[in-house]
């Protein structure tokens, strides 16, 4: 529901509408809604053969008679009803998804806080009825029988009936917490999260740690202590979402636990769903990391810095390095990006790896890529020089290339802090004493460094977007495209600088070589994929002193092939095969920066095989056009089945994809 602040502008211009007196009848609305299906277009019910009714896109309710009609571009049953001949005016309606009131005759939005109390009273009644309807149906929601177009039996209404029990419950809004509810709906439908958190919820859970072969250590089985408060609250919430019984579910316990970890969410102010997701997952990751470390220390009889000998310290460190990566957050959501940069003068190649919990994609607007969006990623290349052991490898091959810009010559001292900040924005905060999974800043000099021609090679042929295309694939294409570093963005190449220094030493011992800046190429590619990939469409960005929202629709596929955006050396992948992920959840943001609303679309489907059963099939996988499962729209406590077409028209903010096994 939109907060009252949404309507402040209307209070100045639309305090009074001349049609309110004769176009709003609260008693008629009350009578109508109690005698009909809630949030279902009455005309769609008549025109099609329903099993138990059908939700029809965005439904508007007439405030004169209580007629519920869809606002779809094809049918427009709500508009047709308002334009039909009536003895009285039926020009005012309210959207049951956004709760906005609209006068058709005036062609303007109305303030529900105007001096006509009947409008505000009607809105209040409808909102309360919406909560009651969701509670009464609990997990039972409306569903239409499947009707294949080429089936005569289906057209005559003799198709097979499908069960209407959908395991989705609404979530109570605690006060401007729709940003939280939308994320929680998607997490509740993340099957692997439900499975792994159930495994580790109990005290005494056993965890087997296998360190890397070079440590010459065998496996270690540890016993984990009790889970921390946020993880425990999360498990109870997920369990209650699956439990049979009344809905909706209250998220108060888990939300309060999160507020203890991140006080910024206290106060019940509207917040950002992506930031919420980061804080929630990272906080649980920190709790589980702490728990695993405690289990390792207990296995060694809790040694201290004073009592432990060097061999014990080595073993604890080795097991801890592998053990912390076994927390359920890393196993589900954390992947790896690799930045590759090559000097055009000496062809030296260096790489920087970083963990991600989601991938933030700038939305391609009508004009060419914005300069500011490019520089966010190019900052990462300033930090290939020596840095703290907390975030960088302890050893570095001599003569490596360091990426920086001529305008940033004096900023090397802050390299570590800026890198950590950048990694945090990519989705995983680095905390003291904890290791970022997969290595955050680590130069590699492997096969890629010895083969410049293959430095920028993807797992499959590049995706080529069409002209003016705005899709997830085109955004990923922009994100992973090769860029030239020229002008003020030239590369500070240590290799070229070292060569220049040697030349000067041979000619004179008094002169010292200046740093050499060269043109270079750089590219970001995915080098490790998690079982669940979350894509963040950057709809909000700074425009001068204000935040601006990009409302452009972004097309997204139900099945996404990530192979064109993965490096040729991507872990557990084979060149030439498809890397398929299937969409199962969306967080949608509607409205403006002043007053918006977050809602969720989730796909109810059967769980897939465990992610440990990795893809071993050679050759491309077949893309099935038949999408199993049923899409459900959830707005706080309101739950309804929706057609796939409505899902594809959503203004997506976060997209949840799971590996197609």
Output 591 or 561, whichever has higher pLDDT. Answer: 561
CA gap 179, 623 in Å, rounded: 33
pLDDT for 458-508, tens place per residue?
777 777 888 888 999 999 999 998 889 998 888 898 888 888 888 777 666
Please name which of 143, 139, 130, 44 lies closest in space to residue 95, comparing C-alpha atoms.
130
In this structure, of 25-39, 51-65, 415-429, the range with the lowest mean pLDDT score is 415-429
pLDDT tens sequence across 104-122: 888 888 876 554 578 888 8
Contact predicate 586/647, CB 8 Å: yes
Taking alpha carbons only, the member of 191, 281, 154 closest to residue 536 is: 281
pLDDT score at 569: 83
Kindly state the average pLDDT of the residues 117-141.
71
> Is the distance from CB of 361 to CB of 552 less than 8 angstroms?
no
Q: What residues have CB less than 8 Å from 433, skipping those under 6 apart?
A: none
Q: Is the pLDDT of residue 334 over 90?
A: yes
What pLDDT is attached to residue 224? 92
Residue 345 DSSP class: T
Which residues is 61 bridged to in the sheet? 68, 94
By annotation, the residues acting in catalysis are 178, 597
Please give the CATH architecture assigned to the domain spanning 4-155.
Answer: 2-Layer Sandwich (3.30)
Helix or strand or coil: residue 559? strand
Domains in the chain: boundaries? 4-155, 178-326, 336-576
Q: Residue 402, CB half-sphere, CA atoms under 13 Å: how many? A: 24
Dihedral class, residue 468 (left if φ above 0, else alpha if ψ from -120 to 50, else beta): left
How confident is the model over 616-642, as pLDDT tens digits? Answer: 434 444 444 445 689 999 999 999 999
pLDDT-above-90 percentage for the chain: 36
What is residue 87's predicted lDDT score, i.e. its pLDDT?
A: 81
Q: How far apart are CA 630 and CA 143, in angstroms?
A: 9
Q: Are 478 and 372 in contact (CB under 8 A)?
A: no
245 pLDDT tier (thresholds 50, 70, 90)? confident
pLDDT score of 132: 73
User: Per residue in 516-528, pLDDT tens?
Assistant: 888 999 999 999 9
Contacts of 21 (CB under 8 A, 6+ apart): 116
pLDDT digits (tens, 9 = 90+) for 380-423: 333 333 333 333 333 333 333 333 333 333 333 333 334 334 33
pLDDT at 374 over 70: no
Confidence at 45, pLDDT banded by 50, 70, 90? low
pTM greater than 0.85 (yes/no): no
Counting residues of the chain whose pLDDT is more than 70, the rounded percentage is: 71
pLDDT at 249: 93
Q: Nearest-CA neighbor of 563 among 429, 485, 660?
A: 660
Structure tokens at 621: 């996988």
């Amino acid at each position: 529901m939109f907060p009252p602040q949404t309507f402040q502008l209307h209070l100045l211009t639309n305090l009074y509408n001349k049609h309110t007196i004769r176009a709003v009848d609260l008693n008629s609305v009350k009578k109508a809604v109690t005698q009909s299906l809630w949030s279902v277009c009455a005309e769609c019910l008549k025109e099609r053969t329903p099993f138990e009714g059908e939700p029809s896109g965005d439904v508007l309710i007439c405030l004169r008679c209580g007629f519920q009609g869809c606002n779809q571009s094809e049918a427009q049953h709500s508009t047709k009803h308002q334009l039909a001949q009536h003895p009285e005016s039926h020009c005012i309606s309210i959207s049951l998804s956004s709760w906005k009131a609209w006068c058709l005759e005036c062609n303007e939005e109305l303030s529900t806080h105007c001096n006509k109390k009947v409008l505000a009273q009607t809105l209040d009644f409808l909102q309360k009825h919406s909560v009651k309807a969701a509670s009464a149906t609990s997990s039972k929601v409306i569903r239409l029988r499947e009707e294949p177009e080429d089936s005569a039996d289906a057209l005559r209404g003799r198709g097979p009936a499908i069960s209407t029990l959908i395991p989705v419950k609404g979530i109570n809004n605690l006060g401007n917490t729709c940003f939280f509810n939308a994320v929680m709906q998607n997490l509740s439908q993340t099957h692997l999260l439900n499975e792994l958190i159930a495994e580790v919820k109990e005290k005494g859970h056993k965890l087997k740690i296998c360190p890397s072969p070079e440590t010459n250590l065998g496996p270690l089985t540890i016993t984990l202590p009790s889970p921390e408060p946020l993880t425990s609250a999360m498990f109870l919430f997920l369990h209650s979402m699956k439990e049979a019984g009344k809905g909706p579910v209250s998220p108060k316990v888990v939300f309060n636990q999160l507020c203890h970890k991140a006080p910024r969410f206290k106060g019940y102010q509207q917040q950002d769903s992506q930031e919420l997701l980061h804080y929630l997952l990272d906080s649980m990751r920190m709790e589980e990391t702490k728990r695993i470390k405690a289990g390792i220390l207990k296995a060694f009889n809790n040694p201290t810095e004073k009592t432990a000998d060097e061999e014990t310290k080595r073993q604890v460190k080795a097991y801890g390095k592998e053990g912390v990566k076994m927390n359920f957050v890393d196993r589900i959501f954390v992947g790896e990006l690799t930045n590759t940069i090559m000097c055009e003068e000496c062809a030296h190649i260096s790489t920087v790896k970083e963990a991600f919990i989601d991938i933030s994609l700038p939305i391609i607007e009508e004009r060419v890529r914005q300069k500011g969006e490019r520089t966010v990623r190019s900052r990462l290349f300033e930090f290939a020089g020596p840095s703290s052991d907390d975030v960088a490898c302890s050893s570095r091959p001599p003569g490596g290339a360091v990426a920086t810009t001529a305008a940033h010559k004096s900023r090397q001292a802050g390299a570590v802090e800026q890198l950590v900040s950048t990694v945090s924005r990519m989705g995983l905060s680095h905390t003291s004493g904890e290791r970022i999974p997969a290595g955050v800043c680590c130069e590699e000099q492997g096969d890629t460094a010895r083969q410049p021609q293959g430095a920028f090679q993807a797992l499959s042929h590049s995706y080529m977007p069409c002209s003016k295309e705005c899709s997830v694939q085109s955004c990923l294409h922009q994100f992973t495209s090769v860029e030239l570093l020229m002008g003020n963005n030239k590369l500070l190449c240590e290799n070229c600088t070292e060569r220049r220094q040697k030349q000067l030493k041979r000619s004179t011992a008094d002169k010292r070589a200046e740093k050499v800046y060269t043109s270079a190429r750089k590219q970001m590619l995915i080098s490790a994929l998690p079982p669940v990939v979350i894509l963040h469409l950057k709809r909000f960005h700074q425009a001068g002193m204000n935040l601006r929202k990009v409302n452009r629709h972004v097309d997204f596929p139900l099945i996404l092939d990530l192979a064109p955006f993965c490096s040729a050396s991507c872990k557990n992948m084979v060149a030439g095969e498809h890397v398929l992920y299937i969409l199962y959840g969306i967080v949608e943001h509607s409205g403006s920066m002043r007053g918006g609303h977050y809602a969720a679309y989730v796909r109810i489907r059967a769980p897939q095989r465990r992610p440990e059963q990795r893809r071993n099939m050679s050759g491309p996988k077949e893309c099935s056009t038949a999408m199993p499962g049923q899409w459900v729209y959830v707005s706080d406590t309101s739950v309804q089945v929706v057609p796939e077409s409505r899902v594809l028209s959503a203004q997506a903010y976060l997209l949840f994809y799971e590996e197609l096994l």
